[in-house]
Amino acid sequence: MPALRARTYLMAPAILALGWWAWTAAQNRNALREIVERQCVVQWQETHSAGPCVRVVMPDADGEKNGYALLADRKGGAHFLLIPTRAISGIESPDLLDPKTPNYFAAAWSAREELAGVVGRRLPRDVVGMAVNSRHARSQDQLHIHLECLQPTTAASLRASADRLTDDWTSIEVPGWHLFATRVMGENLAQADPFKLLAGRLAGAKDALGDYSLLVAGMAFQAGPGFVLLAGTGPGTELLLDSSCAIAKP
């Protein structure tokens, strides 16, 4: 897909008041969709500001159809949510397999400097992870990608296994988890959409996407920079992430 020309508007995380939507999200499974549609997008259209989101990106040609917003998670810490500006229920949505749908994981990866801003230091690629939970393990019915640091044990396990991974999905053990893993080479995900790789390459996944949770972790392979993709039908892979970013602390 050709790169989208977009305008980006930022709001400093330090001035975000996150508590205002905590109760709403706990009571309403459409809270994230409503926040983005009724507040962040409206603010962008009216004032070219992003609030209450951290960032709103709207492609010049397609407007809300292919836009996305970045919202600081209500629980705080180094934790952000990448949310499409159009209604997409979650990982099970057939929209995610449409060639015209943006690569939302690529967009989330490009926003990782927001994590560094919270932590106060540059983060190596292999400490950053992104996760989408299955429909059974989520609290919201609007697609959102969790952007956080990796749990230290998760990062250590992936580094130990990284150079045994190939372009095919294979079984992998992460402490306390049995998952499937594959690798993607490259500095970014511009040419590799994890949703499509899960549906197209892992046997049986396409017909049961809603049962899968998916995690994408940055990696420095011996062969060069890339990513590890992890998928499974157990608990949400968000649990393999850490909003305290302990892995980056001295």
Predicted confidence at residue 61, as pLDDT, reads 63
Alpha-carbon radius of gyration of the chain: 17
Domains delineated in the chain: 6-248 (3.30.428.30)
Q: Per-residue pLDDT tens for 67-125?
A: 999 999 999 999 999 999 999 999 999 999 999 999 999 999 999 999 999 999 999 99
pTM (predicted TM-score): 0.90
The average pLDDT across 194-218 equals 97
Are 142 and 83 in contact by the 8 Å Cβ rule? The answer is yes
Q: Which two tokens stand for residue 12?
A: 């400093």
Predicted confidence at residue 59, as pLDDT, reads 81
Average pLDDT, the chain: 89
Q: Per-residue pLDDT tens for 14-45?
A: 333 344 444 455 579 999 999 999 999 999 98
Please give the share of the chain, as a percent, with pLDDT higher than 90.
84
